[in-house]
């Protein structure tokens, strides 16, 4: 039996589901197979129609009343293959996905007030600049009671804006409730100023509309869906379930698959002696996910729920940029003004490399079975060592209240790793390949997500040659591996530090994040496909645009063109 632990984030609340997956035997009966394939194709089509429906009515999310109506539109998708409960669940899941993606976008597009532009000047003549020349410009934002209020209000539907107040929490401290009172008093005070209030409402609506316009259509890729064990607990209705048949000599574990209103298939499950141990704590008689995998087996995901604070932690984003390395260190992490370096156990690594070289000398094609096994062992040992290292790093970041990390979406083999390592006596490229170090970023993602940390990937383009002060992108900025020195402004810094700073900034700055990346449903970024030149041009123009924007943020708001005034 194939048992796998996977983690799925449930979208309608902050609970996560830990899923244990069981698979059926591969289907051999061709009629059954055809029937099942048809079923999942059909469900996928239904999901597709549901998703389109919600997406086409996305504006309804702006008004509470319309949103409630939209949330109840599952009945029109009634069909012969699913129970009413399953239709509702499937619809609700898609609805919640859209809702969640809107809320994520809201978090990323907060109101900020531009405080001032900080300009730094050269204090004395340097090789590159004269005293009094501009060294750097930086926009400084601040939050005010008004922006805090507005950042709360963008979560409120338009038709509730006039009446809504923050609610008091039971068991809250007096101090917390006093804060709520102060907030509500402030909100009421603003409401009494009719002209101001209308303007604020207009701003909120404009922002909400802009956020809504960024929502992406969800295209369901599979027909997986949630099956009901019992559709109605009060009725002895038939549902789908995993059960054990002790009287059967050939198979003991079965899935009763209710595939249509009056059609039930019994599928034997791939058997494993560990079955009882693995499933001891799992309720077999529960609602579960089903899907058809590409081996023609049915996967059944039985669930345990547990609380995970994925969204809750991100009240204030704390972003860390990570520059992965292998040469000088394992990675350098930038948090605010600080840089932390993590290295790996070089003695351990050297030993693995030496063992590897011994096998290498034989030549892969001539390897005996035992040597092949040895090779696998080395790879595994190294893998688990680096996985452990990743988890140590994530623990440390979690202790520093980091909620988001950014890594380069890089293929270590392709970048400048052709060089021969004196230390290990083999090229870095070869090391990366044999020891599968390209997996490192995936380990960060998987382990990070389990901890509730968002993991973004950004393009590796120009991260090591961009000056963080004047944003000049030039190869010559990095004359050697260790040192970064800007040919334009003379800014000098450790090269790895500089890279980790740039990597973090790609996500920290709204404009860069939006222009260079796509978002997944949890608001995690992956790089858009763009040419190197386009990326460089985009970065330059973003900084240029930033330094031009100045002025009173609460006057002259004209939507997109002046994005910094409300964004």
Nearest to 336 by CA among 526, 525, 508, 542: 508
Helices (DSSP H) in 344-427: which residue ranges? 346-362, 369-399
Q: How far apart, in whole angstroms, are the C-alpha atoms of residue 567 and residue 552?
A: 13
Q: How far is the CB of 485 from Zn ion (least distance, A)?
A: 9
Question: Residue 474 in contact with residue 465, Cβ under 8 Å?
Answer: yes
Contact flag: residue 462 with Zn ion (CB under 5 A): no
Structure tokens at 50: 């549901």
Tell me which stretch binds Zn ion (CB under 5 A): 92-100, 132-140, 352-360, 459-467: 459-467
In 345-479 the beta strands, taken as DSSP E runs, fall at 404-408, 420-421, 426-427, 454-458
Task: Determine, following the binding rule CB under 5 A, whether residue 129 of this chain makes contact with Zn ion.
Answer: no
C-beta closer to Zn ion: residue 494 or 526: 494
Question: Shortest Cβ distance from residue 136 to Zn ion (Å)?
Answer: 8
Site membership for Zn ion, residue 469 (CB under 5 A): yes
Q: Give the residue with the Cβ less far from Zn ion, 105 or 469.
A: 469
At closest approach, how far in Å is the CB of 487 from Zn ion? Answer: 8
Stretch that binds Zn ion, among 70-78, 166-174, 193-201, 483-491 (CB under 5 A): 483-491
C-alpha torsion angle, residues 86, 92, 94, 97 (rounded to 10): -140
Span interacting with Zn ion, options 106-114, 285-293, 469-477, 513-521, rule CB under 5 A = 469-477
What are φ and ψ of residue 319, in 5° steps?
-105, 135
- x/- site string to Zn ion, residues 412 to 451, per CB under 5 A? ----------------------------------------
Name the minimum Å distance from CB 120 to Zn ion: 12
Q: Report the C-alpha gap between 385 and 415 in whole angstroms.
A: 23
Q: State in angstroms the smallest separation of the CB of 470 from Zn ion.
A: 3
Site for Zn ion in 213-232 (CB under 5 A): none
Q: Which region, judged by CB under 5 A, interacts with Zn ion, from 84-92, 228-236, 366-374, 481-489? A: 481-489
Tell me how many helices (H) and strands (E) the chain has.
14, 21
**Subset of 489-518 contacting Zn ion (CB under 5 A):** 489, 491
Structure tokens at 121: 């000047």
Q: Distance between CA atoms of 332 and 243, rounded to whole angstroms?
A: 51
Minimum CB separation of residue 415 from Zn ion in Å reads 22
CB atoms within 10 A of CB 323: 29
**36 or 469: CB nearest Zn ion:** 469
**Can you list the positions of beta strands (E) in 479-529?**
483-485, 492-494, 517-519, 525-527
Q: Which is nearer to Zn ion, 456 or 478 (CB)?
A: 478
The nearer residue to Zn ion, 200 or 470, going by C-beta atoms, is 470
Residue 494: name the closest of 346, 320, 333, 386 by CA: 333
Q: Does 470 bind Zn ion (CB under 5 A)?
A: yes
d(CA 211, CA 111): 12
Choose, by CB under 5 A, the member of 242, 467, 516, 566 that binds Zn ion: 467
Q: Which tokens sit at 306?
A: 């547990």
486 binds Zn ion (CB under 5 A): yes
Given candidates 10, 96, 157, 488, which one binds Zn ion under the rule CB under 5 A?
488
In angstroms, rounded to a whole number, what is the distance separating the alpha carbons of residues 137 and 489? 12
Check residue 94 for interaction with Zn ion (CB under 5 A).
no
* Cα–Cα nearest to 517, from 504, 503, 508, 507: 507
Smallest distance, Å, CB 471 to Zn ion? 7
C-beta closer to Zn ion: residue 435 or 489? 489
462 vs 489 by CB, closer to Zn ion? 489
Residue span binding Zn ion (CB under 5 A) among the ranges 288-296, 396-404, 441-449, 488-496? 488-496
Question: How buried is 528 (Cβ within 10 angstroms: 0-12 exposed, 13-18 middle, 19+ buried)?
Answer: middle
List residues binding Zn ion (CB under 5 A).
467, 469-470, 472, 486, 488-489, 491
């Amino acid at each position: 039996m194939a048992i796998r632990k996977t983690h799925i984030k449930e979208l309608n609340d902050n609970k996560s589901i830990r899923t244990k997956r069981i698979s059926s035997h591969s289907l051999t009966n061709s009629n059954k197979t055809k029937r099942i394939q048809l079923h999942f194709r059909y469900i996928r089509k239904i999901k597709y129609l549901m998703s389109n429906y919600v997406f086409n009515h996305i504006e309804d999310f702006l008004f509470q009343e319309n949103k409630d109506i939209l949330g109840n539109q599952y009945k029109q998708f009634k069909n012969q293959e699913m129970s009413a409960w399953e239709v509702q669940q499937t619809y609700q899941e898609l609805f919640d996905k859209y809702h969640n993606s809107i809320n994520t976008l809201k978090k990323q597009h907060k109101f900020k007030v531009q405080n001032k532009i900080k300009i730094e000047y050269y204090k004395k003549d340097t090789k590159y600049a004269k005293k009094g020349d501009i060294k750097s410009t930086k926009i400084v934002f601040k939050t005010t009671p008004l922006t805090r209020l507005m950042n709360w209000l963008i979560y409120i539907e338009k038709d509730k804006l006039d009446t809504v107040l923050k609610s008091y929490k039971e068991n809250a401290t007096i101090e917390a409730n006093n804060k709520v009172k102060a907030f509500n008093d402030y909100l009421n005070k603003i409401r009494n100023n009719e002209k101001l209030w209308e303007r604020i409402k207009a701003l909120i609506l404009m922002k909400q509309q802009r956020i809504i316009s960024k929502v992406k259509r969800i295209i369901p890729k599979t027909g997986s869906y949630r099956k009901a064990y019992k559709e109605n607990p009060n009725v002895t209705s038939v549902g789908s379930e995993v059960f054990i048949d002790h009287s059967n000599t050939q198979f003991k574990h079965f899935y009763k698959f209710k595939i249509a209103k009056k059609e039930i298939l019994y599928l034997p499950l791939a058997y494993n002696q560990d079955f009882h141990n693995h499933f001891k704590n799992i309720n077999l008689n529960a609602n579960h996910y089903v899907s058809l995998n590409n081996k023609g087996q049915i996967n059944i995901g039985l669930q345990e729920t547990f609380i995970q604070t994925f969204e809750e932690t991100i009240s204030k984003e704390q972003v860390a940029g990570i520059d992965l390395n292998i040469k000088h260190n394992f990675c350098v992490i930038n948090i605010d003004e600080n840089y932390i370096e993590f290295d790996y156990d070089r003695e351990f690594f050297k030993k693995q490399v030496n063992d590897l070289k011994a096998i290498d000398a034989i030549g892969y094609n001539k390897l005996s079975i035992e040597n092949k096994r040895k090779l696998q062992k080395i790879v595994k040992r190294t893998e688990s060592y680096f996985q452990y290292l990743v988890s140590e790093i994530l623990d440390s970041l979690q202790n520093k209240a980091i909620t988001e990390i950014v890594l380069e979406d890089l293929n270590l083999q392709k970048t400048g790793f052709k060089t021969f390592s004196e230390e290990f006596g083999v090229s870095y490229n070869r090391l990366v390949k044999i020891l599968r170090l390209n997996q490192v970023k995936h380990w960060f993602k998987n382990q990070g997500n389990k901890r509730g940390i968002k993991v973004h990937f950004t393009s590796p383009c120009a991260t090591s040659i961009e000056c963080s002060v004047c944003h000049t992108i030039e190869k010559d900025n990095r004359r050697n591996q260790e040192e970064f020195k800007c040919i334009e402004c003379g800014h000098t810094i450790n090269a790895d530090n500089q890279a980790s700073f740039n990597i973090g900034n790609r996500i920290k700055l709204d404009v860069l994040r939006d222009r260079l990346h796509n978002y997944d449903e949890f608001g995690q970024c992956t790089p858009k496909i763009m040419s190197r030149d386009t990326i460089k041009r985009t970065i330059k123009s973003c900084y240029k645009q930033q330094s031009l924007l100045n002025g009173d943020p609460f006057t002259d708001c004209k939507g997109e063109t002046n994005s910094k005034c409300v964004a």
